[in-house]
Every structure is written in structure tokens, then in C-alpha cells.
Amino acid sequence: MYMAAETPRLVSDAGIEFALKEGLVTIGRPDRQSGWEPTIDLSSVDHNRRSSRRHAEIHVAGNTVTLRDLGAANKTFLNGQPLEPNKDYPLAEGDTITFGGEAKLRIEGLASGAPGLRCPKCDEAVTPDMAICASCGANLTSSTMTIELAPKHPCFRCGRPTRGEELCGECGAAVAEADQELLTLSGLKRKR
């Protein structure tokens, strides 16, 4: 959903704005030889020409806004994390996108979007303005929140997303505690 008075846009620290219209928005630098003209020309914010001519795309479809790196030589970064080429990443209000390591733009004008930030404890989606995770109650700061880059794997025990492990952190701790109780009850000692 977009705020009624605002249009989604990319904004530089210098105040240069690029409107994001419904549909596909191409991002890069123009190529006079081929006649290529991106929807958003990064030339005004990329003075050292580190962005690729066909660098990235943003797709706006209703309340869903996604970013895709097109295999750019100097990469696309979302909130400081490099993106995997040709994969869609959801954008949320306040996300920072860096094209080629220099052209830094912030997304504004989204009332809400699919947040890319995750709680470090339970891996649930959170927003930049949250101080406490609604799912698990963990304290959140911009330094503890993560952005999802890798595909999630479900926890073998509870089905919650993990970061590639067999068990989520909570289930892993519960299983370790249960193992310790069994060892204590049996009188055996764990080898170290």
C-alpha cells in the first residue's frame, strides 16, 4: 500500500529523487551506441560510473515492490548486503539501495511493503521502527536485525525458518537441554 499523498521513490542523500511508477523500472546508465535508456539514469548520483548500464530492476505491482540485480559487475547492495543476481528481494520503507558501491538511494513513500529485515532470535519479519519483536519479545536495534539473503530452511522440529541448520535456535536449545536431563537421569557423563 502507498500513502495517499506520496508516490514511491528513490531519494539520494543530496535530495535527488527518482519516482517509481507501477510496473517495471529499469536502473542503470544510458548507452548512446545501442540507444539504451534506463527508466532511472544513475549518472547524476554515480559520478565515477561504477554502476552498470543495465544494473538492476525494481518491479512495482500494487503493494509489492521488489528489487533485482541484473548481474552488475559492481553489484547491488540492499541495506549493506550484496544481492544475489537475478533474484527478487522485497523492499520496505527506508531501505537503502547502493548501486555499484557508490550510488546510494533510499526508498520512500511506501506505507508498508514486504519488510526485508528479520529478528535475530526468531527470524520473523520486523520493520526498522520496531524496538521489540512482536513474535518473541527480543530487543531490536539496527545492528542486530538481519536482512534475508539466503533461502530459509524449515526447522526439523517446529517448522520455523532457520538459517540452514537442522533446528532453529530455540528448538536446538530445547533438544540440548533434554539431552542433558537424560544424561543426568541415567547417571552417564557426556564425553567432551
Per-residue pLDDT at 4 = 41
Pairing relationship of beta strands 23-28 and 40-41 according to DSSP bridges: parallel
pTM above 0.85, yes or no: no
Per-residue pLDDT at 105 = 93
Per-residue pLDDT at 146 = 52
**Domain 9-108 CATH (choose: 3.30.465.10, 3.60.10.10, 1.10.1370.40, 2.60.200.20):** 2.60.200.20
DSSP string, 107-139: EE-BS-----EE-TTT--EE-TT-SB-TTT--B
Q: Do 98 and 77 meet the contact criterion of CB atoms below 8 Å apart? A: yes
Alpha-carbon distances, residue 191 vs 4, 146, 179 (angstroms): 63, 35, 13
Q: Do 142 and 156 meet the contact criterion of CB atoms below 8 Å apart? A: no
Helical residues (DSSP H) of the chain, grouped into ranges: 169-186
Per-residue pLDDT at 185 = 80
Per-residue pLDDT at 37 = 93
Per-residue pLDDT at 23 = 92
DSSP annotation of 13: T
User: Residue 105: beta bridge partners?
Assistant: 12, 97
Residue by residue, pLDDT tens for the chain (192 residues) are: 333 446 889 998 888 999 999 999 999 999 888 888 999 999 899 888 888 999 999 999 877 889 999 999 999 999 888 999 999 999 888 889 999 888 899 998 876 444 456 777 776 667 666 777 777 777 776 555 555 444 456 676 766 666 667 777 777 888 888 888 887 887 766 555
Q: Do 111 and 139 meet the contact criterion of CB atoms below 8 Å apart? A: no
> How far is 142 from 38, CA to CA, in rounded Å?
32
Per-residue pLDDT at 99 = 93
Domain ranges of the chain: 9-108, 117-149, 152-187
Q: Report which of 146, 149, 121 is spatially closest to residue 135, judged by C-alpha positions.
A: 121
